[in-house]
Structure 1
Amino acid sequence: MTDIESIYKKLNHVISKEDFLQRIQDKVENMGGLCDEPMAAMLVANELGFSDVGRDSVKIENITAESGPVNFVARVVSVFDIKEFTRNDGTIGRVGNLITGDETGKIRVTLWDNMADLIKAEKVKVGQTLQISGFAKQGYSGVEVNVGNNGVLTESEEEIEVAASSQKIKDVKDGMGDLNLTGKVLEISEVRTFQKKDGNSGRVGNLLLGDATGTLRVTLWDEKSDFLGQIEYGDTVELINAYARENAFTQKVELQIGNRSIIRRTEKEVDYEEEFTSIADIKADMNNINVSGRVLDIAEIRTFEKKDGSAGRVGNLLIGDSTGKIRLTLWDEKTDFLDEVDFDETIEVLHAYSRENTFSQQIELNLGSKGIIQKTEKKVEYMEKFTDISDIIPGENYSVQGKVFEIGELREFEREDGTASMVSNLELKDETGSIRLTLWGEQAYVIEDLDIDSEIQIIDAYAKYGLNEEIELSVGNRSRVIIL
């Protein structure tokens, strides 16, 4: 460290030594302990126009692990809480960290003992410009500068612009820290509570973000999880000083947002387009499926009792695109959408999952709490595919059209659970053949509106063997009957 006498030798022709020493003391007092007398002497020299005294200042981009002692001016980007630790000799040490930056980059500054106490005393704050003298070395997450009791950390009046560096999702790797990233909100989870090791209650929630390079899950802890209630799907958010960790369960890298990080909405533009799957390409046990389709059928909402005794709700939509159609099951609060949508409207379904229905053996989509369903202005073409009666085989769902040539009676019967229901039959024919239709429940009443030679369409009836081992179509609550 340059001593006071050496500095004054360069200034003795412009200021008396008495005035110089007085200005040093005034500077120390005004800084409130943020600098010692040698550093105050260099600051006084700078104010008098002598910026070449003391150690040369370097830019952050030029600081390497081999730089050793360095002196630089930077703006504080983040301030982390200090931690206490026990040294090998049994004494208690203190350490704290800053992220600082200039126009060439950013670097971590590690403060030890008395210097770390400046964080606790709130004498180091985000946005403050500091002159820093310390020792550069390789740290856990890159090059860092260590400032001990013999180092310098003092406020500077120099204007510093911090380089705006930002990562893309594809570049995020496990163990990376001090990450800045901007992404579009694709999914918002509920906030969950848990018990910490110290017995206190904690909170955690998740976001799924996307940019032009991919998607990434973000975990928000404690008070940061309040942010989840302030945003919606499609918003753009900015993350500052996040860190990446691999999820031990999924083995996927996620970003973590703790009390040292910042997350906020932004008006920045992010290039991200959801990838949509054609209905014909949906297979069983797929996850995170996005699909657009036209509404072909809307089922009533049913209530049921969950395993925990609480009430649940379930409802269905049938949607179609140019490649086919599929039934979509909505659970709990998602069923509210069924009251908002109408036949032939176009919708988007995001982050659904597919399962095979054990009864019908048909692939269906399910939308849980993490999924999104919304109306869209997209143009989706759909044309119902009708099967010739002669091509129907058991075990599949079919749509057929033809003329009624025989109408049975409407009959009441008792279900296995003791409740009453209705059933009726009719015979349908097209140019290729004829088939028997059995209509169940509310569908059974359709025969009251039919005459011989009425033309009808049956949408999504299930083919099976009936009486005398003849193939018939079963028309239930998931089928539609359209009178032409």
Structure 2
Amino acid sequence: MTDIESIYEKLSHVISKEDFLQRVQEKVESMGGLCDEPMAAMLVANELGFSDVGRDSVKIENITAESGQINFVAKVVSVFETKEFTRNDGTIGRVGNIIVGDETGKIRLTLWDNMADLIKAGKIIAGQTLQISGYAKQGYSGVEVNVGNNGVLAESEEEIDVAANNQKIKDIKDGMGDLNLTGKVLEISDVRTFQRKDGTSGKVGNLLLGDSTGTVRVTLWDDRTEFLNQIEYGDTVELVNAYARENAFTQKVELQVGNRSIIKKSEKKVEYEEKFTPIEDIKADMNNINVSGRILDIGEIRTFEKKDGSTGRVGNLLLGDSTGKIRLTLWDEKTSFLDEVDFDETIEVLHAYSRENAFNQQVELNLGNRGIIQKSEKEIEYREKFTDIADIIPGESYSVQGKVSEIGELREFEREDGTENVVANLQLKDETGSIRLTLWGEQAYVIEDLDIDSEIQIINAYAKYGLNEEIELSIGNRSRVIML
């Protein structure tokens, strides 16, 4: 390192040697042991406007894994906790990390032993400007600078503006590190535990974040997963020093938040608007579907036993918009929403997935614990689409309207499980033809309020072959009968 005499030679025309040496000594004392006299001399020179008296100072954007020993000035952006580890010779080492930046970018510093102790002692804080001397190399998440006992970390009074390099989601690529991002919480997963190869237990959880350019899944590990209990849908979250990896299963790039990253709630406003899919565009096996619709039908909540012996709950809604209608199945805790809504109310369903019903081959929506269902103030236009009786074919669900031409009797019968039920039949006609209606359970009692030529609408009845292989409509608890 350049000695004090050679540094002063470059400053002799602006300051006396006595004043220079006095300021060097004051700098050493004020730093509390953070730097030696040569480094203090360089800092004094910087304060006097001479930043090139020592080793050439570089900008962060020019630091590469091949730069080797470097000297630069940067502002502390983030400080992380130190850790202890055992070396091969049995001695205990200490390591810590900080993120520093200048007007050209940001970079990670890895501090070892005595330098790491400065973090624990509180002598390195965010917002502080440092004169840094260390060794550049390729780290796990990109180029980093190692500062050991032979390196230099000294406080500087130089004003440094840190580049604002918040990424947009659309710009994130696999392998990127030191990522800073602000996004809106769209989805929060449960925390799962797993066993590592070394036998220890780990924890993992996920967030889905969105900004004006797209969405990205964020994975949190171990202690970081506790953050998931502190946030809710719609919150703004800020990530510092995350890194991007491609999910081997989905082939989608995700962000990882480990012990070197920071995740926190933010008051920043994030522009994000959910994209809603018209019901007619929903196909089987789609994921992350958002839909708005009016409630056309509300099913009962049923309980069942899961494979692990626990009790599950399931319920259904029928939703409609201007393009069509679809059945939504709610699972477990989500079923409580059915007690909070009524017919014709508008709701939003976020992050649902679609599957084909094996029984009726109809595409349906499912909402699990990652999805969101909520009331909405949107005005949703829905008009039931009625099918002419002549156009009905088996294996589909239909809505029809017409006049009652025959009314059967209410009959009781015993199911295979020993419980009792009721059934009744009607004959319905329109201008194109006539069809038999079979009404089950509570629906059967509607015949008590009907007369010949009563006009009715049947919503969501299932067409199948009945007696004599003639097509009939089956009206169960998923159907509605409306008297006009």
TM-score computed with the length of structure 2 as normaliser:
0.90
Letter in 2 for 1:258: G
Q: 1:125 to 1:396 in 2, by over 3 A?
A: same
Report if aligned partners of 1:82, 1:120 keep a CA contact under 8 Å in 2.
no
CA contact (8 A) 1:79 1:260 kept: no
Q: Classify 1:14/1:325 alpha carbon distance in 2 versus 1 (closer, same or farther; 3 Å).
A: closer
Q: How does 1:17-416 map to 2 (within 5 A)?
A: 24=24, 27-45=27-45, 53-55=53-55, 57-63=57-63, 69-80=69-80, 81=82, 84=85, 96-112=96-112, 114-119=114-119, 121-136=121-136, 141-197=141-197, 199-416=199-416
One-letter amino acid matched to 2:225: S
Cα distance per residue 1:406-441 (max 9 Å; x no partner)? 211111100011110001111111122221111101
Q: Counterpart amino acid of 1:206? A: N
CA distance in 2, matches of 1:468, 1:127: 84
Specify the alignment match of 2:427 in structure 1.
427
Aligned equivalent of 2:482 = 482
Change (3 A) 1:340 1:133: same
Q: Measure how far apart 1:479 and its partner are.
A: 0.7
Question: Aligned partner of 2:347: which letter?
Answer: I
Deviation for aligned residue 1:256: 1.1
Are the aligned partners of 2:84 and 2:92 in contact in 1 as well (CA < 8 Å)?
A: no
Do the aligned partners of 2:35 and 2:153 also contact (CA within 8 Å) in 1?
A: yes
SS in 2 for 1:283: coil
Shift of 1:291: 1.4
TM superposition shift of 1:62: 4.7
Q: Greater CA deviation, 116-125 or 170-179?
A: 116-125
Does structure 1 retain, via aligned residues, the 8 Å contact 2:203–2:223? yes
Paired amino acid for 1:312: G
State the partner residue of 1:456: 456
Match of 1:167, SS state, is: coil
Encode CA deviations 1:272-299: one digit per residue, 9 max, x unaligned. 3322222122222222222111111111
CA–CA separation in structure 1 for the residues paired with 2:184 and 2:84: 35
User: More displaced, 472-481 or 213-222?
Assistant: 213-222
Give the SS at the match of 1:481.
strand
Change (3 A) 1:245 1:49: closer
1:141 to 1:333, Cα distance in 2 relative to 1, 3 A: closer
8 Å CA contact 1:240, 1:263 repeated in 2: yes
Question: Closer, same or farther in 2 for the Cα pair 1:149/1:454, shift >3 Å?
Answer: same
Q: Which amino acid aligns with 1:213?
A: T
Q: Give the superposition deviation at 1:235.
A: 2.3
Matched residue SS, 2:405: strand
Q: Call closer, same or farther: CA 1:367–1:149 in 2, change over 3 Å.
A: same
Instruction: Name the SS for the 2:366 alignment partner.
Output: strand
| CA–CA distance in structure 2, aligned partners of residues 308 and 141 of structure 1 | 40
Would you say the 8 A contact 1:402–1:455 is kept in 2?
Answer: yes
User: Counterpart of 1:411 in structure 2: which amino acid?
Assistant: R
Q: Which amino acid aligns with 2:286?
A: M
For residue 437 of structure 2, what is the aligned residue in structure 1?
437
CA distance in 2, matches of 1:70, 1:133: 6
The gaps in structure 1 that reach 5 residues or longer are none
Report the secondary structure of 1:39's partner residue: helix
Contact 2:245–2:256 (CA under 8 A) maintained in structure 1 = yes
| Separation (CA, whole Å) in 1 of partners of 2:113 and 2:244 | 28
Which SS does the other structure have where 1:316 is aligned? strand
Pairs aligned (count): 482
Could you tell me how far 1:219 is from its partner in structure 2? 0.9
User: Separation in 2 of the partners of 1:71 and 1:183?
Assistant: 35
Distance 2:309 2:140 in 1: 50
Distance change in 2, residues 1:135/1:445 (3 Å): same
Among the aligned pairs, what percent are the same residue? 83
Q: In the alignment, is the contact (CA less than 8 A) between 2:142 and 2:177 conserved in 1? A: no
Cα deviation for residue 53 of structure 1 reads: 4.1
Q: Is the 8 A contact 1:35 1:154 kept in 2?
A: yes
- 1:138-169 deviation per Cα after TM superposition (whole angstroms, max 9, x unaligned): 65655444434433211223343322111121
* Cα separation, 1, equivalents of 2:150 and 2:469: 95
Using a 3 Å threshold, how does the CA distance of structure 1 residues 82 and 126 change in structure 2: closer, same or farther? farther
Displacement after TM superposition at 1:269 (Å): 3.2
Following superposition, the deviation at residue 117 of structure 1 comes to 4.5
- The change in CA–CA distance for 1:395 and 1:145 in structure 2 (over 3 A counts) is closer
Which has the larger displacement, 412-421 or 76-85? 76-85
Against the structure 1 CA distance between its residues 197 and 474, is the aligned structure 2 distance closer, same or farther, given a 3 Å change threshold? same
Structure 2: 5+ residue stretches without partners: none
CA deviations on 1:206-233 (whole Å, 9 max, x unpaired) are 1011223322110112332222222222
Q: TM-score, normalised by structure 1?
A: 0.90
Instruction: Return the alpha-carbon distance in structure 2 between the equivalents of residues 92 and 411 of structure 1.
Output: 84
Partners of 2:43 and 2:104 in 1: CA distance: 23
Question: Structure 1 pair 374/41, CA: closer, same or farther in 2 (3 Å)?
Answer: same
The one-letter amino acid paired with 2:183 is G
Asked if 2 retains the 8 angstrom alpha-carbon contact of 1:279 and 1:324, the reply is: yes
CA–CA separation in structure 2 for the residues paired with 1:477 and 1:292 = 23
Report the alpha carbon displacement of residue 333 of structure 1 after superposing the two structures with TM.
0.8
Cα 1:277–1:75, aligned 2, differ >3 Å: closer, same or farther? same
Larger mean CA deviation between 147-156 and 179-188 belongs to: 147-156
Q: Partner amino acid for 2:72? A: F
Distance in 2 between the 1:480 and 1:13 partners? 93
Q: Which amino acid aligns with 2:319?
A: I
One-letter amino acid matched to 2:432: T
Is contact 1:169-1:210 (8 Å) kept?
Answer: yes
User: Secondary structure of 1:223's match?
Assistant: helix
Q: Give the counterpart letter for 1:475 in structure 2.
A: I
CA contact (8 A) 2:97 2:260 kept: no
Moved more, 471-480 or 2-11: 2-11
Mean Cα deviation higher: 307-316 or 474-483: 307-316
For 1:402, give the aligned amino acid. G
How far is 1:242 from its partner? 0.7
Contact 1:11 1:45 survives alignment (8 Å): no
- How far the C-alpha of 1:316 sits from its partner, in A, is 0.6
Q: Distance in 2 between matches of 1:49 and 1:161?
A: 17
